[in-house]
Amino acid sequence: MSSWSWWDQLEQKLEQQLEAFLRSHPEQSEKLRAELLNDAAQYRRQLLELATEIKQWRERTKRAQAAGATELAQRAQAHVEQLMDQGRSHWERLEAIGRELQEATTQPQSSAPKPQPDNLDAAWARFETEQALNELRRRQRGH
């Protein structure tokens, strides 16, 4: 038996135990969901901040290049790339949280309250995040 199949079996068993626990303790399921939503909001805010910071550093890079400060422009560009890596990492985590939330809402929950309809603030935050990420992706492809 390879170590990966052993690991996969362990992961599957732990997932089953967590699902059983959450089914028998719906209040914990709601706490987990609230925590995931809070984490998602935090990552969205961080992504928006990163998008603004990337824009600022891109402008600084252009200014340094235009002024002939090649070394400074290179350092600024390296910083932009580091920020974009952070953005990709945050985006991956946000996607993982989304999958976790999707799984949580598709699992039968006997006595758990039904999720409330999406509010405008949350929808707008998702929209802004998606716009910022699309901009990051567009700029990344431009390099």
Q: What is the per-residue pLDDT for 115? A: 46
Check residue 68 and report its DSSP letter. T
Does the structure show a pLDDT above 90 at 35?
Answer: no
Q: What is the per-residue pLDDT for 69? A: 93
Question: If 0-12 CB within 10 Å is exposed, 13-18 middle and 19+ buried, where does residue 30 land?
Answer: middle
Domain residue extents for the chain: 28-105
d(CA 60, CA 83): 14
**Lowest-confidence range among 67-76, 95-104, 131-140?**
131-140
Residue found under tokens 């891109």: 58
Q: What is the per-residue pLDDT for 103? A: 74
Q: What is the average pLDDT score of the chain?
A: 78
Q: Go through the chain and tell me how many residues it has.
A: 143
Alpha-carbon distances of 100 from 15, 20, 104, 123, rounded to whole Å: 12, 16, 6, 18
Q: What angle do CA 12, 116, 28 make, to 5 degrees?
A: 40
pTM summary value: 0.56
Give 36's pLDDT tier (boundaries 50, 70, 90): confident
Residue 73 contacts by C-beta under 8 Å, 6 or more apart in sequence? 61, 64, 65
Grouping H, G, I as helix, E, B as strand and the rest as coil, residue 69 is: coil
Question: Looking at residues 26-35, what average pLDDT do you find?
Answer: 77
Tens digit of each residue's pLDDT (9 = 90 or more) over 70-85: 999 999 999 999 999 9
